[in-house]
């Protein structure tokens, strides 16, 4: 049996896509999820792209102990120096060097001849190898490259010390048959292939990323590059949850290949990442969407009641989704609370447990029954909230006056350290008025209000409302989340969280300049 390595690039390919930017603490929260999932490699970022990226790659490299940590680098000495500086303290550092090999990219993007690209690839792999034993080489746009040329480049990379060869489908153009054949052909034609691991990295522009990655494995790849929830450039990357569960569900096809992923952590990781970027899973998303394990149609329900396997090819429990919803309430003690969280797959530190238990007690005063969905929302919010700027503005109190025949008014009082700031605004509804009052207090730089979304966590009129807000400024997204049984409070909390991030980013940029 051979183990297929899972190389997770949520923090690089995922994070660089529009609407998915994360701050340092949020990236660390994702890295912790990836460790719990037991991925083999975390691509923590593209160290040279900004001082912030460098800092997050370095911090993750120094924090993560149980898997390899990689930084991306273009094929030039400056990028490689920076990538090494960022990952060198990792338990198992990796430098990931890439250069494009397709005619289109070489002519129009790199403005280099194929000969020059070949020479550069060889020289820069050798340069990275001087620093690091673990060097991955990617031939960007491999699936639109000339196979004879690709064979030459891969051969040169291996001769100069690459340990992993990645053949990306950069623009999501290929098909499963083509991907399988490409990997098999390159392995067969390059003499040193047996000494390295081959890898696939597929984008999802035509909806075939998962199928193409699995076909790559059948062609001989031993590493799959993927992301939580399939985040990534344009239509995204291969979903970690899909490739992993496909291999686990079809041992008849992939029996000799398996992954080391702790599948019961999939749902938690997915929720955390969606929370951080202020999104929720599309309801029909495979594995992690709300409907993935629901059986609505009568004929399906009947079948499932007789034998679950009639319509269920994998169990919700296998990916960490709990279906027997045990309800806790105000009389539940800390032990019952902790035990339920453990059953849901959440092992919290003493501090985290105390904080969440206090929030749980507050919630019990507002809501009679606290369901598993409420608990999950509470814990993931608490973790990601903690991962946001802790030194920003906090809500002290708010008051709104609204009706369908007067203009809404909101008064908001925020705390910054020991100081309090209060403002009042009229608005087009209480939420608009509250956001304007917050703007008057915080005075964030000019930005666009991109998204406001409200989502109910469970059933019942007293459900928790989860509000996501997204702001954009300078081509970056700043997302915020708020959770409360009161949707105005949830909205205010979400907006403060986003504005705090924008404020922290501006302060940091001003300092760097
Ligand atoms: O899609 C791609 O080709 C990439 C490479 C940098 C690996 O992300
Ligand atoms: Zn990519």
The predicted pLDDT at position 429 comes to 96
Q: Which of 129-133, 305-309, 386-390 holds the top average pLDDT? A: 129-133
The pick from 72, 96, 198, 221 for probing ligand 1's pocket by mutation, whose C-beta has the most ligand atoms within 8 angstroms, reads: 72
The predicted pLDDT at position 108 comes to 97
When comparing pLDDT for 338 and 384, which is higher? 338
Q: Are 476 and 498 in contact (CB under 8 A)?
A: no
Residue 99's φ and ψ, nearest 5 degrees, are: -150, 150
Alpha-carbon distance of 328 to 336, in angstroms, equals 8
The predicted pLDDT at position 151 comes to 98
State which ligand 1 atom lies nearest to the alpha carbon of 168.
Answer: 3
**Out of 226-235, 286-295, 410-419, 435-444, which region has the weakest mean confidence (pLDDT)?**
286-295
State which ligand 1 atom lies nearest to the alpha carbon of 12.
Answer: 8
Over 90: is that where the pLDDT of 346 sits? Answer: no
**Burial status of residue 422 (CB atoms within 10 A of its CB: 0-12, 13-18, 19 or more):** middle
Ligand 1 centre to CA of 172 (Å) is 11
The predicted pLDDT at position 406 comes to 93
Give Dmax (Cα) for the chain: 79
- pLDDT per residue over 113-122, tens digit each? 999 999 999 9
**Out of 80-84, 168-172, 281-285, which region has the weakest mean confidence (pLDDT)?**
281-285
The predicted pLDDT at position 456 comes to 87
Segment (H or E) for 91: none
Over 90: is that where the pLDDT of 370 sits? Answer: no
Ligand 1 centre to CA of 141 (Å) is 8
pLDDT class for 386, splitting at 50, 70, 90? low
Q: What is the DSSP track for 336-395?
A: HHHHHHHHTT----HHHHHHHHHHHHHHHHH-S-B-HHHHHHHHHHHHHHHTS-TTS-EE
* DSSP code, position 328: B
Percentage of the chain surpassing pLDDT 90?
Answer: 74
Over 80: is that where the pLDDT of 112 sits? Answer: yes
Q: Are 473 and 448 in contact (CB under 8 A)?
A: yes
Ligand 1 centre to CA of 306 (Å) is 46
pLDDT class for 384, splitting at 50, 70, 90? low
**Out of 93-97, 306-310, 469-473, 484-488, which region has the weakest mean confidence (pLDDT)?**
306-310
The pick from 73, 98, 171 for probing ligand 1's pocket by mutation, whose C-beta has the most ligand atoms within 8 angstroms, reads: 98
Could you say which ligand is closest to the alpha carbon of residue 46? 1
Beta bridge partners of 455: 466
What is the average per-residue pLDDT within 355-381?
87
**Out of 110-114, 357-361, 409-413, which region has the weakest mean confidence (pLDDT)?**
357-361
Ligand 2 centre to CA of 169 (Å) is 8
The pick from 138, 164, 216 for probing ligand 1's pocket by mutation, whose C-beta has the most ligand atoms within 8 angstroms, reads: 138
Ligand 2 centre to CA of 448 (Å) is 28
Whose C-alpha lies nearest to ligand 1, atom 8? 13
State which ligand 1 atom lies nearest to the alpha carbon of 13.
Answer: 8
pLDDT class for 299, splitting at 50, 70, 90? low
The predicted pLDDT at position 295 comes to 62
Alpha-carbon distance of 407 to 404, in angstroms, equals 8
Segment (H or E) for 480: strand 476-484
The predicted pLDDT at position 88 comes to 98
Ligand 1 centre to CA of 168 (Å) is 6
CA dihedral 308, 310, 314, 318 (to 10 degrees): 0
Q: Is the dihedral of CA 417, 419, 425, 430 positive or negative?
A: positive
Ligand 2 centre to CA of 443 (Å) is 37
Average pLDDT, the chain: 92
pLDDT class for 286, splitting at 50, 70, 90? very high
Could you say which ligand is closest to the alpha carbon of residue 233? 2
CB atoms within 10 A of CB 19: 15
pLDDT class for 297, splitting at 50, 70, 90? low
Tokens representing 321?
């989704």
Whose C-alpha lies nearest to ligand 1, atom 7? 138
Alpha-carbon distance of 489 to 495, in angstroms, equals 10
**What is the per-residue burial (b if ≥16 Cβ within 10 Å, else e) of 381-407?**
bbbbbebbbeebbebeebebeeeeeee
Strands 408-416 and 419-427: antiparallel
pLDDT class for 458, splitting at 50, 70, 90? confident
Over 90: is that where the pLDDT of 216 sits? Answer: yes
Ligand 2 centre to CA of 452 (Å) is 29
> What 3-state DSSP class applies to 107?
helix
pTM for this predicted structure: 0.85
Q: Are 398 and 490 in contact (CB under 8 A)?
A: no
Over 70: is that where the pLDDT of 187 sits? Answer: yes
**What is the per-residue burial (b if ≥16 Cβ within 10 Å, else e) of 466-501?**
bbbbbbbbeeebbbbbbbbbebbbbbbbbbbbbbbb
Residues with CB under 6 A from ligand 1: 13, 72, 98, 138, 140, 166, 168, 170, 201, 203
State which ligand 1 atom lies nearest to the alpha carbon of 72.
Answer: 6
Q: Are 216 and 183 in contact (CB under 8 A)?
A: yes
Q: What is the DSSP track for 119-185?
A: HHHHHHHHHHHHH-S-EEEEEETGGGS-HHHHHHHHHHHHHTT-SEEEEEETTS---HHHHHHHHHH
Over 70: is that where the pLDDT of 55 sits? Answer: yes
What is the average per-residue pLDDT within 351-380?
87
The vertex-115 CA angle with 113 and 116, nearest 5°, equals: 65
State which ligand 1 atom lies nearest to the alpha carbon of 171.
Answer: 1
């Amino acid at each position: 049996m051979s183990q297929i390595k899972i190389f997770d690039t949520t923090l690089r390919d995922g994070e660089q896509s529009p609407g998915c930017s994360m701050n340092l603490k949020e990236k660390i929260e994702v890295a912790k999820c990836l460790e719990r999932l037991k991925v083999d490699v975390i691509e923590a970022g593209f160290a040279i792209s900004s001082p912030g990226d460098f800092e997050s790659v370095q911090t993750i490299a120094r924090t993560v102990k149980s898997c390899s940590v990689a930084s991306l680098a273009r094929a030039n000495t400056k990028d490689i120096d920076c990538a090494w500086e960022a990952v060198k303290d990792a338990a198992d550092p990796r430098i990931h060097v890439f250069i494009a090999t397709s005619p289109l990219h070489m002519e129009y993007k790199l403005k280099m001849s194929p000969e020059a690209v070949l020479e550069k690839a060889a020289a820069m792999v050798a340069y990275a190898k001087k620093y690091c034993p673990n060097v991955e080489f990617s031939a960007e746009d491999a699936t639109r490259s000339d196979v004879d040329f690709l064979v030459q480049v891969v051969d040169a990379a291996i001769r100069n010390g690459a340990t992993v060869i990645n053949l990306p489908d950069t623009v999501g153009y290929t098909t499963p048959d083509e991907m399988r054949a490409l990997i098999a052909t390159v392995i067969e034609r390059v003499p040193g292939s047996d000494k390295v691991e081959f890898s696939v990295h597929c984008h999802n522009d035509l909806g075939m990323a998962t199928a193409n990655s699995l076909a790559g494995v059948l062609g001989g790849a031993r590493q799959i590059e993927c992301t939580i929830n399939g985040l990534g450039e344009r239509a995204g990357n291969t979903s970690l949850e899909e490739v992993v569960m496909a291999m686990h569900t079809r041992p008849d096809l992939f029996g000799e290949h398996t992954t080391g992923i702790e599948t019961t952590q999939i749902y938690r990781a997915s929720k955390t990442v969606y929370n951080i970027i202020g999104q929720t899973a599309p309801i029909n998303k495979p594995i992690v969407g709300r409907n993935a394990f629901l059986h609505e149609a009568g004929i399906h329900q009947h079948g499932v009641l007789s034998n679950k396997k009639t319509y269920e090819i994998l169990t919700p429990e296998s990916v960490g989704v709990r279906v027997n919803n045990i309800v806790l309430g105000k009389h539940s003690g800390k032990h019952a609370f902790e035990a339920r969280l453990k059953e849901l797959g959440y092992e919290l530190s003493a501090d985290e447990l105390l904080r969440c238990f206090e929030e749980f007690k507050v919630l019990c005063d507002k809501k009679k029954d606290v369901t598993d969905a409420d608990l999950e929302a509470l814990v993931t919010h608490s973790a990601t909230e903690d991962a946001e700027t802790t030194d920003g503005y906090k809500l002290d109190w708010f008051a709104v006056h609204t009706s369908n025949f007067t203009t809404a008014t909101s008064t908001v009082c925020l705390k910054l350290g020991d100081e309090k700031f209060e403002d009042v605004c009229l608005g087009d509804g209480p939420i608009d008025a509250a956001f304007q009052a917050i703007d008057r207090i915080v005075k964030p730089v000019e930005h666009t209000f991109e998204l406001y979304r409200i989502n109910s966590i469970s059933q019942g009129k007293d459900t928790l409302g989860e509000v996501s807000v997204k702001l954009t400024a300078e081509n970056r997204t700043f997302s915020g989340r708020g959770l409360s049984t009161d949707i105005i409070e949830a909205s205010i909390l979400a907006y403060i969280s986003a504005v705090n991030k924008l404020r922290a980013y501006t302060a940091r940029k001003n300092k760097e300049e």
